[in-house]
Structure 1
């Protein structure tokens, strides 16, 4: 499938990265659907408030880089993406956290939003 058809995945993940790097949890949460299923590395939540709480609990100075590995169009308004992500922290006292990331995007009236997010530790 041509990359341009799946560019919303990169656009949303770029915005996710910028909001995390700026430590703006409400901005991160706005990238998710109202009923998003969110599974970070701690207990899961449903909805934007859980996403905002999760990212508000992350330390200032945490940043993320990602690499989109696979993409699929599941339906006209649904996209699947699989990526690697590396969360890094200010200062040497905390090691980076490498994860595998799966997201499902759904087109809404507000544009493409993350409807499902699952992170799991990446074994290297």
Structure 2
């Protein structure tokens, strides 16, 4: 289960590090519910728009805190994430994600950030 999450989250981190919103969005299901620190959106276009608005140099460092297998094809993760920036202090947040096995592999179907 942790291997599944690490694979998806490593790709997510890499896409953000590279400021590649389309690659980040491709890690989400087409109907994903996405709640960053702005109003929520649904679907890959909303995810790509969110990450496009993020500053160059944004980089997440995450630590898995809790995981639960909700079904054979569904995993829940609760993480601590530190988003670092080039020009401002690091922002610590809590993140909950649900990843689902789809015909395209494991993808994020729910993403919920909250400030500490």
Are residue 114 (structure 1) and residue 114 (structure 2) matched? no
CA drift at 1:6: 3.5
Aligned: 1:33 with 2:48: no
The structural deviation recorded for 1:119 is 0.3
User: Paired residues, what number?
Assistant: 116
In 1, the alpha carbon distance for the partners of 2:32 and 2:75 equals 14
The match for 1:98 is 92
How far apart are 1:30 and its partner, in Å?
A: 0.3
Contact 1:64 1:87 in 2 (8 A): yes
Segments of 4+ moved more than 2 angstroms: none
Greater Rg by CA: 1
C-alpha root-mean-square deviation of aligned residues, in Å? 0.7
Runs of 5+ in structure 2 lacking a partner? none
TM-score, normalising length: structure 1? 0.91
**2:8 is paired with a residue of what secondary structure?**
helix
In structure 2, how many angstroms separate the alpha carbons of the residues matched to 1:118 and 1:26?
Answer: 19
What stretches of structure 1 of length at least 5 have no aligned partner?
none
Q: How does 1:1-124 map to 2 (within 5 A)?
A: 5-91=1-87, 94-122=88-116
Query: 1:77-98: CA deviations, max 9, x gaps?
Result: 000000010111113xx11111
